[in-house]
Structure 1
Amino acid sequence: MNQIKLLTLISCFTFMLGCSKATDVAGTDTSANQPDTEFTAQIGDNEKTQGIVLLSGLPTLNTKDSIAILELDPESAKFGEILYEYELPEFDAPLHHLYYSPNGRLYATGLGTQCSLAEIALIRDATGAPTVSDVECLDTQGQVVGEDIMWHSVNGKEYMFVTFMGGTGLAQPDGGSVGVFNSQDNSVIKVIEARKSEVGENEPYIMFPHGISAYGDRMVVTSTIHPDLATGVGNALTIIDLNKMEPIENIVTEDAQPVGFPSSPVEVLFVRPSIVKNAQPAILVNTMFGFETWKVPYNESDKSFGVPEKLYDGATAGTGVPLELYGNEDELFISHAIPGIVKRYSLNSLPELVSSGEDIQAEPGAHHMIFYSSASGRKLIAIQNNLLNLGDAADNDPTDVDFIAKVNHHSLTVHDLQTGERLGEINFKDKFKKGIDNIEALFGSGFVHHH
């Protein structure tokens, strides 16, 4: 990716942030990369409105990375307060995503090389209060820049699968790997790697993998972007045969290039009957730079994938940078960083996309989300409005990437789930001098479907 193209991307994103309007055009996707077995933890009533977040220290504000527990009930006098905070060691990049395993263990992936995968000891102290006793960086056998995790059973044995965008080395211009871990002791069982420059022409490859999802013995990972945000961008999905733990096919999901780059598939969902009863299996995927959502049909009888179909075109609908795919019992929610909205669709209609309500108006950088209820029983959604915690030139921040800074609102907005009404906002930069990387429900109490 040369400098001229990067400036083109920055200009386009800046234009869209200034001119895009929210739309009610239906487009869908979900990165429900979770295990098929849902996890519900034992949690006190007073903790059901609390969330756990990864916070990044901002270089110009002299703050440190941390894990924090927040009160997220807008009806509470303590709304927006940090109830507990655990300062993290200084890694070369922040932790990025939180995940609960099927048995309730808490993990995080990391965007650097020093701690690309970690297990977080979220426990209760002697008084019963939630606390973090340790963060253990795991041995990945050299795999770096962890992104998504899912737990999935293959031939009766459960594994933890992790995508590593940097593969086995950031110097590789076409790197990327999928780590297969023992789900009990976190040991590496296999590194699935197939660099495009090292496999034969037209042979399947894995490059910059981010999103991950699976059904039966077929797994799909996306090809997103090199971790340095400059070396290369992908435009395809990789299908992995889980019997052999090897890639077998690439599927291109790209049409127009609204910002002049490959489409950059990001989060992905393999629609399957365990999520939607009687659903026709299919892959749904968002393309970050294509602004699109695609469907790839799956024929279960012969394990073949059909011709990709574009379901949603954000470039014409006025949205860009679609990111996350979450669902509760009834709906699928898709965050679009530009202009900062969350679209909603009928879960039971998947893999087709049927709007189930008006867009939820968040802020630029709309990204991760959780679902929970207030103390009075009002159903809520909290939306993280932050893409990456890179600073901006106005702060003279050495980590500055201008177009990313424009989709960093550093906030959580809390909305009525039914109406979309905004009930509260927490701006982490203003209040705590930090950015927010990720949000999850405390002890997984709000977990349904997500990556």
Structure 2
Amino acid sequence: MKLSLNSVLVCITLVILVSCQNDNHYPDHPHDSSFYIDYRSLKGLPDGIAVIELDPEAPNFGNISSKLELGVGVLPHHIYYNQNANKMFTTALGGSYLYEVKTGQDQNGQPILLNAIPVDTGENTVGENLFFTNDGRYFMTFMGGAGGPKDGSIGVFNAANNKLIKTIKAPIQTNPNKFIMYPHGISINEEKGLMMVSSTIHPDLTTGMGNTCTLLDLNTYEIKETYQVADSPTDLSAPVEVLLLRGKFPQYALATTMLGGDIWIAPYNAITKKYDAFTKIFDGSTKGLGWALEMYIDDTNKLYVSFAEPGKVLVFDINNLPQLKLLKTLDADKGAHHMAFFKTKSGKEVVAVQNNLLDLPNLNSGTISIIDINTEKKLGTVDLRNKYGILPESIEGTNGPSNYMHH
């Protein structure tokens, strides 16, 4: 999502100079509490990516040790690893919309950022989410599509060379019952050969809003169904993230609604080989919550959902779906958004919550909260707004994905 698309600097600025460059992210080196963050500048300077220490027990807690500038107005948005976690990417709302990020290590084995290589996305604009499959493809949602008022697309890329294979488009003007519009969230169940994307909001945040999720065949790219994820056809709930539970988890689709502030669920139907209709499983307004955003699952069947307003992370038990049992509520800051999970030096299990959504008023704290998952106590806060003049946009581990399941 983006308020305006600014021009990007032609050259990617390398802030930290080192002697080596490769695709590896050094999983054997001791930097479990160092994280990559996408950030936007509040001072008119280039946006970029940084390495930051997030263990409150570390003497350099909150310090940035490496930065890579991408350009003014690039607005990097989500960081992802490929299937083997040996390549890292960031999507962006501006600039080239997708970059492969090269990293290295300093003389102490700590992660540093080297450079970023723009990936050609063709006509597709306003990059959002990625999903890597086991067969050598990756999929990317483009909320802006080719730039029309009711646009949006899905890019299919070759994971070996980052070449765009196909652009999937399905305009609502052509078929109002099966369409892709303003896609943001994406999730894939490879075993079932299914992909689902959400319909969120036009990149300018005013031209249009969505209230659906669309299911596609993963191999033919045919649209199988478009589902209403809202109380009524006129309820513009803006579904933002979708998660097709797979593997050992119960076979359901979950969706969060940004403007609805709710969690929705749809069961998989083995006969139709699709999902049945979505129903609301959690009403955020009953708990004083709004702007439901990201979903993460750990390996003990706990679901973590961020609510940007007033800035909470709710932890649910999903062992008995479609019943969703609330276990605990963690206090973050306004704009609670992406999460990363790790252990502190003393072994405390914590979640780092990035608190900012598009620099929107009252949703842009610009902090990262470190919360003890077991005691629910906030152990520390990094105030990036006041310390560095930047806002965090997303967060990811420097040893690979810092979560068990996200999309």
TM-score by length of 2: 0.89
Partners of 2:181 and 2:210 within 8 A in 1: yes
Looking at secondary structure, tell me which structure has more helix per residue: 1
Q: Which residue of 1 aligns with 2:36?
A: 52
Distance 1:130 1:40, change over 3 A: closer
Q: Which residue of 2 aligns with 1:64?
A: 46
SS of the residue 2:325 aligns to:
coil
How many aligned positions are there?
A: 380
Q: Which residue of 1 aligns with 2:383?
A: 427
Percent same amino acid at aligned positions?
A: 37
- Alignment partners' CA distance in 2, 1:128 and 1:373: 19
Q: Are positions 1:76 and 2:58 aligned together?
A: yes
SS of the residue 1:166 aligns to:
strand
Q: Which aligned pairs between 1:152-301 and structure 2 lie closer than 5 A?
A: 152-153=133-134, 157-169=135-147, 172-197=148-173, 199-202=174-177, 204-215=178-189, 216-255=192-231, 262-272=236-246, 274-276=247-249, 279=250, 281-301=251-271
Task: Report the alpha carbon displacement of residue 417 of structure 1 after superposing the two structures with TM.
Answer: 1.4
Q: Which residue of 1 aligns with 2:326?
A: 355
Task: Report the alpha carbon displacement of residue 261 of structure 1 after superposing the two structures with TM.
Answer: 5.4
SS of the residue 1:412 aligns to:
strand
Task: Report the alpha carbon displacement of residue 126 of structure 1 after superposing the two structures with TM.
Answer: 6.2
Task: Report the alpha carbon displacement of residue 151 of structure 1 after superposing the two structures with TM.
Answer: 1.2
Task: Report the alpha carbon displacement of residue 337 of structure 1 after superposing the two structures with TM.
Answer: 0.5
Task: Report the alpha carbon displacement of residue 223 of structure 1 after superposing the two structures with TM.
Answer: 0.3
- Alignment partners' CA distance in 2, 1:386 and 1:189: 33
Task: Report the alpha carbon displacement of residue 434 of structure 1 after superposing the two structures with TM.
Answer: 1.0
Q: Deviations over 1:272-331 (max 9, x none)?
A: 2x252xx2x111101111122111111124303212211011123311000000122222
Unaligned runs of 5+ in 2: 1-23
Amino acid at match of 1:425: T
Q: Which residue of 2 aligns with 1:449?
A: 405
**Runs of 4 or more off by more than 6 Å in structure 1?**
none
Task: Report the alpha carbon displacement of residue 76 of structure 1 after superposing the two structures with TM.
Answer: 1.3
Amino acid at match of 2:319: N
Q: Which residue of 1 aligns with 2:7?
A: none
SS of the residue 1:174 aligns to:
coil
- Alignment partners' CA distance in 1, 2:145 and 2:267: 28
SS of the residue 1:409 aligns to:
coil
- Alignment partners' CA distance in 2, 1:335 and 1:118: 26
Deviates more, 1:187-196 or 1:81-90: 81-90
Q: Which residue of 1 aligns with 2:11?
A: none
Higher relative contact order (CA 8 A, sep 6+): 1
Q: Which residue of 2 aligns with 1:85?
A: 67
Please tell me the root mean square deviation across aligned C-alpha atoms, in Å.
Answer: 1.9
Task: Report the alpha carbon displacement of residue 49 of structure 1 after superposing the two structures with TM.
Answer: 1.0
Amino acid at match of 1:410: G
SS of the residue 2:385 aligns to:
helix
Q: Which residue of 2 aligns with 1:26?
A: none
Task: Report the alpha carbon displacement of residue 125 of structure 1 after superposing the two structures with TM.
Answer: 4.9
Q: Which residue of 2 aligns with 1:111?
A: 93
TM-score by length of 1: 0.80
- Alignment partners' CA distance in 1, 2:392 and 2:295: 18
Distance 1:41 1:271, change over 3 A: farther
SS of the residue 2:399 aligns to:
helix
- Alignment partners' CA distance in 2, 1:42 and 1:219: 30
Q: Deviations over 1:37-59 (max 9, x none)?
A: xx9961322x011111112111x
Amino acid at match of 1:406: N
Which of 359, 366, 378 is the matching residue for 2:348?
378
Unaligned runs of 5+ in 1: 1-38, 390-403
SS of the residue 1:76 aligns to:
coil
Distance 1:351 1:189, change over 3 A: farther
Partners of 1:55 and 1:66 within 8 A in 2: yes
Deviates more, 1:206-215 or 1:81-90: 81-90
Task: Report the alpha carbon displacement of residue 218 of structure 1 after superposing the two structures with TM.
Answer: 1.1
